[in-house]
């Protein structure tokens, strides 16, 4: 079972990816994690990536493709890819790789939430600048409003989490993903999961679908005498 997962800011896709990895034994390939770890290694390539991000520019497709495809080459098990592909060029690179290696995708899953929900989840976040504790004004409020439970520091909102920034990130996500979603719709692989509600509620929408795909795969392998 090989899966793509995507969703707008605050959709909870990383949390659900971790649950999927744990339950179905897939390798987790996250474009964000791969890019961050390249930057953390401090190589000249990592510094180049860092320059794109600090300028607010997109990392060129050729670089992202190289990073993801070389990660795919190094692994033998089934996978879930988070945050890739995001452009038509990236779709093409992934399709070529999968075709050349006889690998099938089973699902392109979007965890979808409305713009209002996205803004509420992200703009409500508060961070402690001193100890790094994370709160949410509605879902995980500190005991004293505006103060960190752990160290008492004044909580702040990250620039990236401001309402107008979240709205813009949401709009960019929707317009960038439209052609990619249409592509996977035509392939019969696209499924939209309703991402509203608690983590547990959303998980109970995902799990039966993946259990079904897994069961179908197992029965196919048995039928073919495959391991």
Binding site for Zn ion (CB under 5 A): 128, 130-131, 133, 148, 150-151, 153
Considering beta carbons, is residue 151 or 156 the nearer one to Zn ion? Answer: 151
Which of 71, 121, 126, 169 is catalytic? The answer is 169
Distance, CA of 2 to CA of 104 (rounded, Å): 7
Nearer to Zn ion, 144 or 209 (CB): 144
122-6-121 Cα angle (round to 5): 15
Smallest separation (angstroms) from Zn ion to the CB of 160: 19
Active-site residue identified among 71, 86, 121, 126: 86
Entry field: residues in the chain: 227
State the Cα angle at 99 between 98 and 104, rounded to 5°: 60
- The backbone torsions φ and ψ at residue 38, rounded to the nearest 5 degrees and listed phi first, read -60, -45
Residue from 130, 158, 178, 192 carrying the catalytic annotation: 158
Task: Provide CB contacts within 8 A for 37, sequence distance 6+.
Answer: none
Is 169 among the residues known to form the active site?
yes
- Our answer to whether residue 143 is catalytic in this structure is no
Residue 151 or residue 174: which is nearer to Zn ion going by CB?
Answer: 151
Cβ proximity to Zn ion: between 155 and 166 the closer is: 155
Write b or e for each residue in 151-189: b if 16 or more Cβ atoms lie within 10 A of its Cβ, otherwise e. Answer: eeeebeeeeebeeebbbebbeebeeebeebbebbeeeeb
Query: Is 214 among the residues known to form the active site?
Result: no
The minimum distance between CB 127 and Zn ion, in angstroms, equals: 9
Task: Give me the least distance between CB of 151 and Zn ion, in Å please.
Answer: 4
Is there a catalytic annotation at residue 125? yes
The verdict on whether 147 is a catalytic residue reads: no
> Closest distance between Zn ion and the C-beta of residue 146, in Å?
12
> What residues are labeled active site?
13, 86, 125, 158, 169
């Amino acid at each position: 079972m090989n899966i793509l997962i995507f969703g707008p800011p605050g959709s909870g896709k990383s949390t659900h990816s971790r649950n999927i990895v744990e339950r179905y034994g897939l390798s987790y390939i996250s474009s964000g994690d791969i890019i961050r770890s390249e930057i953390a290694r401090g190589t000249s390539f990592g510094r180049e990536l860092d320059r794109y991000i600090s300028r607010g520019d997109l990392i060129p497709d050729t670089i992202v493709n190289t990073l993801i495809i070389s990660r795919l080459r190094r692994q033998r098990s089934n996978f879930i890819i988070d945050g890739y592909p995001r452009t038509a060029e990236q779709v093409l690179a992934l399709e070529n790789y999968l075709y050349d290696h006889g690998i099938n995708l089973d699902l392109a899953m979007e965890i979808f939430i409305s713009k209002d929900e996205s803004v509420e989840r992200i703009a409500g976040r508060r961070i402690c600048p001193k100890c790094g504790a994370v709160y949410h004004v509605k879902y995980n409020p500190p005991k004293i409003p505006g103060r960190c439970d752990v160290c008492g520091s004044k909580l702040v909102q990250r620039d990236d989490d401001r309402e107008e920034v979240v709205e813009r990130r949401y709009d960019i996500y929707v317009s960038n993903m439209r052609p990619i979603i249409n592509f996977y719709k035509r392939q019969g692989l696209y499924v939209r999961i309703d991402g509203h509600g608690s983590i547990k509620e959303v998980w109970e929408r995902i799990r039966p679908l993946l259990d079904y795909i897994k069961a179908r795969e197992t029965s196919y392998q048995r039928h073919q005498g495959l391991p």
